[in-house]
Amino acid sequence: MRKALRAAVALLVIVMAASCSKPEDPIQVDQSAITVLNQTDNDWKNVLITVNDHFRGQVPVLKAAGRLNAPMSQFETGFGQRWPASQRATKIVVTATDANNQPVKLEWDINTARQKR
């Protein structure tokens, strides 16, 4: 009986800790890559990532609950200029269309990202 009670208490503590943890940011940025998380139950199509208003990258589909890892070196302007390694990402906008043809838009800004930390 005591073992069952201990197990139930341990399980309750684990569940409560998981439910209290902060969800991951849908856009994560480091020096060499951008990660986009689809935290919805719908696939996204025509996913376009725009960095600093000029550099773009696109994928046809991001599955529901999926993760997209995009190296910064793959982003380019409309004129074919590649992302310069010395530049920092200061603004990121992700647009897409969900399975119900509704628009999806996520935004990340370096100033608000620092405030969250």
**Digit-coded pLDDT (tens) for 101-117:** 999 999 999 998 754 43
Q: Has residue 8 got a pLDDT over 80?
A: no
Q: Global pTM?
A: 0.79
Identify whether the C-beta of residue 68 lies closer than 8 Å to the C-beta of residue 59: yes
Side-chain half-sphere of 67: how many Cα atoms within 13 Å? 7
The confidence score (pLDDT) of residue 61 equals 97
- Return the number of other C-beta atoms located less than 10 Å from residue 73's C-beta: 12
Q: Which of 36, 35, 71 is nearest to 55 (CA)?
A: 71
The verdict on domain 24-116 having CATH code 3.30.1360.120 is: no
Q: Work out the average pLDDT over 2-28.
A: 67
pLDDT in tens, 68-90: 999 999 999 999 999 999 999 99
Q: Where are the alpha helices (DSSP H) in 1-117?
A: 2-20, 110-116
